[in-house]
Structure 1
Amino acid sequence: MKKTLFTLALLVQVGFAMAHNKTTIEAQARHENVQMFQQAATSTTVLGTLNATDRIQFVRKHNAQWGIITVNGKTGYVLLSELSGLKKVKSEAR
């Protein structure tokens, strides 16, 4: 009986630990063809271009001018002045 109760309590704890909500920050490109760079400098490799309709996940601020973002599985740097509409979005755990 004790083992059963212990197992049940453990399963409940694991369930709560796996069911947490995660908050992410989403952003938009201010205009079409915003460049995403490999490093925080315009002289580095361009990883891709962003459009106003792209779903951009803002990872963090790198410094006063640059931010780190993820788009379509690619992570890179973008000038903060090229982003708008930063907002927190709660996403349910799967």
Structure 2
Amino acid sequence: MDPVLEDTYVASEVLKCIHIGLLCVQEDAADRPTMSLVVVMLASDTMTLTNPKNPAFSVGRMTKEDSSTSKNSRDPSINEVTVTRIVPR
């Protein structure tokens, strides 16, 4: 978080919101919490949250090491950048 905002939020609440957000974007929809469970998680101070699994979509770059160990080791493009167009369902 921005240090300028430090006195305007509770760090544990921010981390809890980020954690719940990551649970909501897991790749397998069956692993995602229902909205009613999200409300319970947000309201609870004692509920233990599970570790999130891989997200359905992520933006990032693969390192040379990652690409050499992947199933498909050829470069996705000359400059190693892949462009993905996201469209609504």
Q: TM-score, normalised by structure 1?
A: 0.21
Q: TM-score, normalised by structure 2?
A: 0.22
Return the structure number with greater relative CO, CA threshold 8 A, min gap 6.
1
Larger strand proportion of the pair: 1
Larger helix proportion of the pair: 2
Which structure has the greater CA radius of gyration? 1
